[in-house]
C-alpha cells in the first residue's frame, strides 16, 4: 500500500464514523483529500522541501486519538505557570478538564472548533480555509481532509484581553502513534489587542504527528502577539502552516520558539494588505541530538507603507539540522515599504548543520530592505576569558550561548516563557549562576 | 607563594621560555621587564592556563600545589588571576553577569554560599566608584565597544571584586593616558596586602613610578638575566636594555 493510500484509508475509516456534516465541510474535506492524493507527500526535488525529508511522516502509521485522557499531575508539570485562559487538546482531542474558560471578558470568544461549528457553522465556514487553502501545501490539504477540531478565538472590536490566551497541545506516549490535524482560527476585530500562546508539549516518550493549520485575521489596528512555544517530545513530528492577514495599521508580533520535536517544519506567512501594517517575526530554534528544525517565513508587502522585521537565531548542537528560509516580497506599487531580515546561527558541534537562505523579491523602487545571514561557532577566546575568572567551562559555554540568543529573548515579554527557553538553551546552570537573580540585580542597579 | 622553577615553554615548535626561575612571596610586588619578544607575556599566559603553550620542562607551584595540573577555572578560584593585555569583548554577556558568576564561583570554592544581592550591589558600587567608572558599565556587554582605557579599568575592577591572592597584570599600562594610568595604578596599589602578591609584566618603566615594585627582573630571550629592586627599573629606563645584554654576555 502506498504511503498516501494509508492516510486516505485512515480518512475513510474516520469519515465512516462521522455523523451528518454541513455540506461545505464535506466538500472541503473531499477537496483536501483529492489535492493530497494528487500531490502526495513533498519530496526533496521540490525547492520548498529541498532540505527537509518528510519520509518519517510519510512512512508512519498513525491512527486518530479517540479520547483526551491525560494524567492531571503530568499535565500540571507540562503546563505554563501563567494566569491565563486556556484551551487544552490531547493528541488533537479537546480536553475540557484541562481547560480554563472561566470569566472570559466581554468581547472574547474562545472555544474548540467543534463547539464553534455546533454553535454556528456558517460563521466558521467563511474564514476557515480562506487564507490557507488546499493549494498551500500537501500538508495543508491533508489537514483540510481531516479537519474537525482545533481552536477558535474571536475578539470583538476594541476588546483588550489582559490575560494571555493559551492553546495547549499535549502529545501522549502510547503503543500506537497518533496523528492530529488541528485548525486554529483567530479573528481579531479592529483595535482589539491580545496575546495568544500556542504551546506544544507532551510526555517524553511520545512519538506522534501533529499537522497544524492556523489562520489569523487582523482587522484595522488590531494588535496580536503570538507565541509558538514548541517543546514537543523529541520523537514528535510537527508541521505547522501559519497564515496571517493584516489590515491597515495592524501589528502582528510572532515569537516562534522551537525547542522540541524530532522533525519540525513551520511555514509562517503574512499578508501585509493595508497601509501601516507591521509584522515582527522573532524566532529562535534550538536543535540537539538528531532534531531537524525547518523554518520558512514569508512577508508579502501587498500595500504601500507596510513594515516587516525578522530576526531569527538558530543554535544547533550534536547532529541537529536547521533550515532557515526567509523571504520578503514587495509587490509592484508597494512603495515606501521597509522590510528587514536577519538570521544568525550558532553551531555548537562539528556535526551540526544549517541551510540558510534569505530571499528578497522587490517589484517596487521606493523601498528600504535588507537581509543577511551568518553562521559561526562559540568564540573560544571568550570561553577562555570567562574561565580565567573562575567560571567553569560548561557555564561559560552556557552564558555565551544565552548571550547569542539574548537579542531574541530580550524581546520576549513573558518571563515564564523566556526562562523556559533560557533553561533549554543554556542547560541547567548551577544555582550560583542563577540568571534570574542576576537579572534582578541588574534591575535593582538601574533603578537606583 | 609562587615558585617557577626552570620553566621551558614551547609555542608552535619554538622555545620561548628557556629555563625561567622565579620566586614570589606573599606581600611582594614583582615587575618583569624586558625587550619585545623576550617571553614576558608567555609566562603569565602559561600560569593562567592558556591553550597552545607546551611546557617541556620545569614546574610552577602556587602555595605548594602544581599549577600546571589545574583546570583554568581552578587556578582562578585558588586566587591566581590574570589581567589581560588585550581584554576580549564578550557580546551579550553583561559585566554584572560576569562579576557575579565569577565571585560566586570563587565563594563556592572557598565553602561560602552565594553572595546576597544587597551585599553584592554594595560591593560592586564601591569598586566601580573607586575605578572612577560609571555604573552604566555594569549593564554593558563585557568590553564591547569599550575604549582601550576602559578595558584596562575593567580588568582592574574584576581584580578588586575577586580579590586574588596573586594578581598577574600583563602590560596593564599599554594604551593608557596619564589620567587612566593613575586610576589603574591606584586600583592595583589598593590590592597590595601582606597576604597577597602582584606580578607586573611591562615594557616600560613609566608604570613603576606609580606602582613601586619590591623586585624587578629583566627577562631576555626566555630567561631572567638580572634582578634587583625598583632602582633597576629606573636604570633600565635611563640606559635601555643593551647594557644588561652586554653584561650577560660577558
The per-residue DSSP string of B85-110 comes to: SSPPPEEEEEHHHHHHHHHHHHHHHT
pLDDT value of position A428? 54
Cell digits for B105?
A: 564561583
> Which of A197-201, A381-385, A411-415 shows the lowest mean pLDDT across its residues?
A411-415
**Which pLDDT does position A410 carry in this prediction?**
83
Between A409 and A287, the higher pLDDT residue: A287
Closest partner CB to B102 (pick from A390, A407, A431): A390
At residue A62, does pLDDT exceed 50? yes
pLDDT at A432 over 50: no
Domain count, chain A: 2
pLDDT at A444: 55
User: Checking DSSP bridges between strand A251-258 and strand A278-287, what pairing results, if any?
Assistant: parallel
Partner residue opposite B77 with nearest CB, options A390, A402, A435: A390
Q: Which chain A residues are closer than 8 Å to B151 by Cβ? A: none
Q: Inform me whether the C-beta atom of residue B12 falls under 8 Å from chain A C-beta atoms.
A: no
Indicate yes or no: CB of A431 within 8 angstroms of CB of B49: no
Q: How many CA atoms lie within 13 A of B42 on its CB side?
A: 27
User: Residue A361 domain-assigned?
Assistant: no
Contacts 24+ apart (CB under 8 A), A417-424: A417/A80, A417/A197, A417/A227, A417/A229, A417/A255, A417/A257, A420/A80, A420/A229, A420/A231, A420/A259, A421/A229, A421/A257, A421/A259, A421/A284, A421/A286, A424/A231, A424/A259, A424/A286
Does the beta carbon of A102 lie under 8 angstroms from any beta carbon of chain B? no
Could you give phi then psi for residue A392, rounded to 5 degrees? -65, 160
pLDDT reported for residue A433: 45
Region A264-276: mean pLDDT is 98
> In this structure, is residue A164 part of a structural domain?
yes
Q: For the segment B100-157, what is each residue's pLDDT rounded down to a tens digit?
A: 889 999 998 999 988 888 999 999 999 999 999 998 888 888 999 998 889 999 999 9
Task: Kindly tell me if the per-residue pLDDT of B27 is higher than 80.
Answer: yes
| Banded model confidence at residue B238, pLDDT cuts 50, 70, 90 | confident
The Cα B195–Cα A112 span in angstroms is 71
**A432 CB-near residues (< 8 Å, 6+ apart):** B101, B104, B105, B107, B108, B114
Q: Does a structural domain hold residue A24?
A: yes
Residues paired with A109 in a beta bridge? A154
Q: Residue B250 — pLDDT band, cuts 50, 70, 90? A: low
Interstrand relation of A150-155 and A165-171 (parallel, antiparallel or unpaired): unpaired
- For the residues B77-98, what does the mean pLDDT come to? 91
Strands B215-220 and B14-24, by their bridges, are unpaired
Q: Tell me what the mean pLDDT of segment B158-174 comes to.
A: 94
Quick one: which of A429, A426, A388 has its CA closest to A405?
A: A426
What is the separation of C-alpha A87 from the centre of its chain, rounded to a whole number of angstroms? 16
Mean of pLDDT values over A322-343: 94
Q: What is the pLDDT of residues A207-229, one digit of tens each?
A: 999 999 999 999 999 999 999 99
Residue A19 lies in a domain: yes
Half-sphere exposure of B58 (CA within 13 A, CB side): 22
Residue A225 sits in the same domain as residue A93 = yes
Angle between helices A393-409 and A380-387 (to 10 degrees): 120
Residue B98 has pLDDT above 70, yes or no: yes
Alpha-carbon gap: B104 to the closest alpha carbon of chain A (Å):
6
- The closest of B215, B160, B166 to B195, measured between CA atoms, is B166
**Contact state of B81 with A391 under an 8 Å Cβ cutoff:** no
Chain B contact present for A437, CB below 8 A: yes
Judged by CB atoms closer than 8 Å, whether chains meet at B51 and A384 is answered as: yes
pLDDT on residue A25: 94
Mean pLDDT of the A384-394 span: 93
**Considering only A101-110, A193-202, A316-325, B30-39, which range has the smallest mean pLDDT?**
B30-39
How large is the angle between the packed helices A3-17 and A23-39, nearest 10 degrees?
170
Report chain A residues whose CB lies below 8 A from the CB of B51: 380, 384
- Strand A209-218 vs strand A237-246: parallel, antiparallel, or unpaired? parallel
The per-residue pLDDT for B174 is 85
| % of chain A surpassing 90 pLDDT | 84
Contacts of B52 (CB under 8 A, 6+ apart): B11, B12
- Alpha-helical (H) ranges within A297-343 are none
Q: For residue A221, tell me if it sits in a domain.
A: yes
The confidence score (pLDDT) of residue A337 equals 94
Determine the distance in angstroms separating the CA of B183 from the nearest CA of chain A, rounded to an integer: 22
Indicate whether this model's pTM tops 0.95. no
Task: Please report the pLDDT score of residue A431 as a whole number.
Answer: 45
> Nearest C-alpha of chain A: how many angstroms from B129?
14
Which pLDDT does position A212 carry in this prediction? Answer: 98
**Measured between alpha carbons, how far is A260 from A102 in angstroms, rounded to an integer?**
30
Lowest mean pLDDT among A50-54, A300-304, A417-421: A417-421
A392/B73 Cβ within 8 A: yes
Domain hosting A416: range is: 381-448
B42-59 confidence digits (pLDDT tens): 999 999 999 999 999 999
Residues paired with residue A307 on neighbouring β-strands, in sequence order: A278, A338
Nearest residue of chain A to residue B45 (CA atoms): A388
**Residue ranges of E strands in A95-249:** 108-112, 150-155, 165-171, 178-180, 183-188, 193-202, 209-218, 223-231, 237-246
Rounded Cα gap, residues A252 and A282, in angstroms: 11
- A379–B101 C-beta distance less than 8 A: no
| Largest separation between any pair of C-alpha atoms in chain B | 61
Q: Which residues of B touch A397 (CB under 8 A)?
A: none
| Nearest by CB: B73 against A387, A433, A446 | A387
Residues of B in contact with A435 (CB under 8 A): 97
Instruction: Name the pLDDT band for A434 (thresholds 50, 70, 90).
Output: very low
What interface predicted TM-score (ipTM) does this complex get?
0.94
Lowest mean pLDDT among A188-192, A276-280, A364-368, B90-94: B90-94
Q: Which of B137, B102, B126, B165 is nearest to A433 (CA)?
A: B102
Flag whether pLDDT at A292 surpasses 60.
yes
CB distance A407–B141 less than 8 Å? no
What distance in Å separates the CA atoms of residue B200 and residue B30, rounded to the nearest whole number?
6
pLDDT, mean of residues B189-195:
95
Average pLDDT of every residue of chain B = 92
Look at residue A150 in the predicted model and tell me its pLDDT: 98
> Which residues 6+ apart lie within 8 Å of A43 measured at CB?
A49
Partner-chain residue, chosen from A380, A433, A442, that has the shortest CB–CB distance to B104? A433
Are the C-beta atoms of A9 and A15 separated by less than 8 Å?
no
Please state, in angstroms and rounded to a whole number, the distance separating the CA atoms of residues A370 and A217: 27
Check residue A135 and report its DSSP letter.
T
pLDDT at residue A421 is higher than 70 = yes
pLDDT confidence band for A445 (50 / 70 / 90) = low
CB spacing of B101 vs A433 below 8 angstroms:
yes
Chain B neighbors of A411, CB-CB under 8 A: none
**Domain residue ranges in chain B:** 2-249
Measured in angstroms, the CA of A403 and the nearest CA of chain B are apart by: 4
Which residue from A minimizes the CA distance to B124?
A445
Cell numbers for A311, please give them. Answer: 530576526
A83 assigned to some structural domain? yes
Mean pLDDT of chain A: 93
CB contact under 8 A, B102 and A444: no
How much is the average pLDDT of B163-183? 92
User: Is the pLDDT confidence value at A83 over 70?
Assistant: yes
Q: Do A384 and B90 touch (CB under 8 A)?
A: no
Give the pLDDT of residue B35: 83
Residues 170-199 of B with CB under 8 A from A: none
In this structure, whether the domain defined by B2-249 belongs to CATH 3.40.50.300 is answered with: yes
**Contact A8/A62 with Cβ under 8 angstroms?**
no
Amino acid at each position: 500500500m502506498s504511503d498516501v493510500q494509508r492516510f486516505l484509508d485512515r480518512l475513510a475509516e474516520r469519515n465512516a464514523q462521522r455523523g451528518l456534516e454541513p455540506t461545505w465541510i464535506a466538500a472541503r474535506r473531499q477537496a483536501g483529500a483529492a489535492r493530497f492524493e494528487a500531490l502526495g507527500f513533498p519530496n526533496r526535488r521540490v525547492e520548498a522541501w529541498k532540505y527537509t525529508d518528510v519520509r518519517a511522516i510519510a512512512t508512519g502509521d498513525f491512527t486518530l486519538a479517540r479520547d483526551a485522557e491525560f494524567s492531571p499531575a503530568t499535565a500540571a508539570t507540562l503546563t505554563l505557570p501563567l494566569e491565563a485562559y486556556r484551551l487544552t487538546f490531547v493528541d488533537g482531542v479537546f480536553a475540557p478538564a484541562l481547560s480554563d474558560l472561566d470569566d472570559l471578558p466581554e468581547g472574547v470568544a474562545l472555544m474548540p472548533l467543534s463547539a464553534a461549528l455546533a454553535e454556528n457553522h456558517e460563521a466558521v465556514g467563511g474564514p476557515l480555509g480562506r487564507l490557507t487553502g488546499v493549494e498551500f501545501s500537501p500538508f495543508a490539504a491533508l489537514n483540510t481532509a481531516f479537519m474537525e477540531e482545533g481552536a477558535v478565538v474571536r475578539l470583538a472590536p476594541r476588546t483588550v484581553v489582559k490575560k494571555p490566551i493559551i492553546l495547549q497541545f499535549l502529545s501522549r506516549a502510547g503503543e500506537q502513534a497518533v496523528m492530529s490535524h488541528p485548525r486554529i482560527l483567530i479573528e481579531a476585530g479592529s483595535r482589539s489587542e491580545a496575546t495568544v500562546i500556542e504551546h506544544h508539549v507532551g510526555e517524553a516518550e511520545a512519538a506522534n504527528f501533529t499537522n497544524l493549520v492556523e489562520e489569523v485575521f487582523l482587522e484595522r489596528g488590531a494588535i496580536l502577539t503570538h507565541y509558538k512555544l514548541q517543546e514537543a517530545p523529541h520523537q514528535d513530528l510537527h508541521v505547522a502552516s501559519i497564515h496571517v492577514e493584516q489590515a491597515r495599521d495592524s501589528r502582528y508580533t510572532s515569537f516562534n520558539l522551537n525547542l522540541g520535536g524530532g522533525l519540525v517544519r513551520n511555514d509562517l506567512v503574512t499578508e501585509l494588505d493595508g497601509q501601516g501594517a507591521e509584522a515582527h517575526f522573532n524566532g529562535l530554534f534550538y536543535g540537539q541530538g538528531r532534531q531537524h528544525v525547518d523554518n520558512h517565513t514569508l512577508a508579502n508587502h501587498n500595500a504601500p507603507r507596510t513594515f516587516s522585521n525578522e530576526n531569527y537565531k538558530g543554535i544547533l548542537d550534536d547532529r541537529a539540522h536547521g533550515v532557515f528560509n526567509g523571504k520578503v516580497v514587495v509587490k509592484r506599487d508597494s512603495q515606501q515599504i521597509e522590510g528587514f531580515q536577519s538570521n544568525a546561527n550558532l553551531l555548537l558541534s562539528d556535526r551540526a548543520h544549517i541551510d540558510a537562505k534569505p530571499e528578497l523579491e522587490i517589484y517596487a523602487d521606493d523601498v528600504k530592505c535588507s537581509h543577511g545571514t551568518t553562521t559561526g561557532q562559540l568564540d573560544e577566546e571568550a570561553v577562555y576569558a570567562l574561565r580565567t575568572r573562575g567560571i567553569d567551562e560548561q557555564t561559560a559555554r552556557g552564558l555565551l550561548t544565552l548571550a547569542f540568543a539574548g537579542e531574541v529573548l530580550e524581546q520576549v515579554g513573558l518571563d515564564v516563557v523566556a526562562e523556559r527557553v533560557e533553561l533549554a538553551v543554556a542547560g541547567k546552570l548551577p544555582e550560583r549562576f542563577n540568571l534570574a537573580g542576576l537579572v534582578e540585580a541588574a534591575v535593582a542597579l538601574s533603578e537606583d | 607563594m609562587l615558585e617557577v622553577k626552570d620553566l621551558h615553554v614551547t609555542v608552535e615548535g619554538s622555545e620561548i621560555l628557556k629555563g625561567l626561575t622565579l620566586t614570589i612571596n606573599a606581600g611582594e610586588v614583582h615587575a618583569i621587564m624586558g625587550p619585545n619578544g623576550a617571553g614576558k607575556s608567555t609566562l603569565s599566559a602559561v600560569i593562567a592556563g592558556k591553550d597552545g603553550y607546551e611546557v617541556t620542562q620545569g614546574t610552577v607551584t602556587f602555595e605548594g600545589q602544581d599549577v600546571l595540573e589545574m583546570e583554568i577555572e581552578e587556578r582562578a578560584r585558588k586566587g591566581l588571576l590574570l589581567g589581560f593585555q588585550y581584554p576580549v569583548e564578550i557580546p551579550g554577556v553583561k559585566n554584572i553577569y560576569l562579576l557575579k558568576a565569577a565571585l560566586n564561583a570563587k565563594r563556592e570554592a572557598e565553602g561560602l554560599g552565594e553572595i546576597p544581592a544587597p551585599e553584592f550591589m554594595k560591593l560592586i558600587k564601591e569598586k566601580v566608584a573607586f575605578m572612577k567608572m560609571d555604573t552604566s558599565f555594569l549593564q554593558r556587554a563585557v568590553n564591547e565597544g569599550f575604549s582601550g582605557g576602559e578595558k584596562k579599568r575593567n580588568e582592574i575592577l574584576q581584580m578588586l571584586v575577586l580579590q586574588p591572592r596573586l594578581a598577574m597584570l600583563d602590560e596593564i599600562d599599554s594604551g593608557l593616558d596619564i589620567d587612566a594610568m593613575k586610576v589603574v595604578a591606584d586600583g592595583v596599589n589598593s590590592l597590595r596586602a601582606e597576604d597577597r602578591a602582584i606580578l607586573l609584566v611591562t615594557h616600560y618603566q613609566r608604570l613603576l613610578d606609580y606602582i613601586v615594585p619590591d623586585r624587578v627582573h629583566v627577562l631576555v630571550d626566555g630567561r631572567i638575566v638580572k634582578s634587583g629592586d625598583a632602582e633597576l627599573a629606573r636604570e633600565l629606563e635611563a640606559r635601555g636594555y643593551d647594557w644588561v645584554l652586554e653584561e650577560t654576555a660577558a
